[in-house]
Amino acid sequence: MFLHRLTAHQAIDLIRKKQITVSEIVQDIFRRIEQVDGLIKAFLTLNKEEALRQAEEFDEKIKKGEEIPPCAGIAIAVKDIIVTKGIETTCGSKILKGFISPYNATVIEKLREAGAIIIGKTNLDEFAMGSSTENSAYQVTKNPWDLSRVPGGSSGGSAAAVAADETLVALGTDTGGSVRQPASFCGVVGLKPTYGRVSRYGLIAYASSLDQIGVITKDVIDCALLMNIISGSDAQDSTSLDIEVPNFLNYCQGGIENIKIGIPREYFEEEMDEEVKEAFQRSLLVLKGLGAIIEEVSLPHTVYALPAYYLIANAEASSNLARYNGIQYGYRSEDFQNLFDLYCKTRSEGLGQEVKRRILLGTYALSSGYYQAYYLKAQKVRTLIREDFNQVFKKVDLLLTPTSPTPAFRLGEKTSNPLMMYLSDIFTLPVNLAGLPALSLNCGYSQKNLPIGLQIIGKSFEEGTILKLAYTFEQHNRIEKRKLQIEGVNEQEEG
């Protein structure tokens, strides 16, 4: 039995029935990582010794009849921008090589309390700045559906690991689509919660008003399961809101009759791959057949979302990344004459090209004489975009769009053209500007066997409604099961 192919909820069920042990799952996952990660390069760090020790402890408690946490045995991979006590956290950057946090992020503490086992830290675009996971200082992650293509970004390592069965579930972060876009490219489920639903304490900041920790899973039930664990207010995060957390698993049932779904016309005025359009239209037919009401809506300020996003995000990044100067932690240049020289050389040598580009743009937007012309104006546009969503959600319950205008593109295809790379997130970043929840799940495949993602956008703190639609669609979207490029991933199990 190939245990690494299980979903988290299947694994929990088998553990509780004593049909498998926690150790068996964890050992099988590490065997899988050993088998395929040399090709995919999803992981930067493995936590094998500690993970196997935790698994053995849970098995011993089960043998003695002692109570175990509700999610004991969930093997989880964590994006290497979320701090983990005792495990290196690099943000995919040379400047943080060797940094080991003295504390855990709040989400990590919650996962450990629930019994989840961290198996390793996954690769990402440096400081989460990118859409392809090609900007890491350490390695380029590949898409398990086609090793010549990107897995998306910046949470590409987490998405690729889930798709290739190198983990049961994973954590990512989403600043402008960095959970949903790689979930789309890798054919898995990715949820970005409402801003404030999940604590950001321990998430190393890129753009503080946009960043949100999200989940990447094999199916919608696992998505709800993880949301139950990591959601909730946190006194250590001033942006965390004290909003009641429902049992999200309760939404993974029932139908969607008469639910109103809006289709933003502005999203279809953008350049879009024909196969993405076709998959989207087939998805609408499925939902109509299930009783959903579909209507066209307008988000008139969508056209300004991309420039507004990159001004705001980069301005915040220029401020957040000022702390990496070679003094307190991380990389330090060895050849310097004075303090100013140390700062310059450390940052020049320790930061990658994309990070430098964004710091420069952000610093320029915040500089005297340009603040009002650029940054302040971008914030005003952000307010207009948020108001667009508020008005539309008076008419409909959810919005539906493609996740990305194209399936996964080839490695190196857009690295020389930053603007083309930024356009990969054109359908996802308005959600972050408005602070809304959104989910991506697979809705079909291209002729080249590449997954295509469907994005469901909801009202603030209504992740449950999103999960309800996603679960129903997942159960009724009859698409042929495809095989990953990696040999042996979808062999038929024996016995």
Residues with catalytic function: 79, 154, 178
Sign, CA dihedral 123-127-132-138, equals: negative
Q: Does the bond joining 154 to the residue before it have cis omega, within 30 degrees of 0?
A: yes
SS3 assignment for the chain: CCHHHCCHHHHHHHHHCCCCCHHHHHHHHHHHHHHHHHHHCCEEEECHHHHHHHHHHHHHHHHCCCCCCCCCCCEEEEECCECECCEECCCCCHHHCCCECCCCCHHHHHHHHHCCEEEEEECCCHHHCCCCCCCCCCCCCCECCECCECCCCCCHHHHHHHHCCCCCEEEEECCCCCCHHHHHHHCCEEEECCCCCECCCCECCCCCCCCCEEEEECCHHHHHHHHHHHECCCCCCCCCCCCCCCCHHHHCCCCCCCCEEEEEHHHHCCCCCHHHHHHHHHHHHHHHHCCCEEEEECCHHHHHHHHHHHHHHHHHHHHHHHHCCCCCCCCCCCCCCCHHHHHHHHHHHHCCHHHHHHHHHHHHHHCCCCHHHHHHHHHHHHHHHHHHHHHHCCCCCEEEEECCCCCCCECCCCCCCHHHHHHHHCCCHHHHHHCCCEEEEEEEECCCCCEEEEEEECCCCCHHHHHHHHHHHHHHCCCCCCCCCCCCCCCCCCC
Do the bridges between strand 398-402 and strand 451-457 make them parallel or antiparallel, or are there none, so unpaired? antiparallel
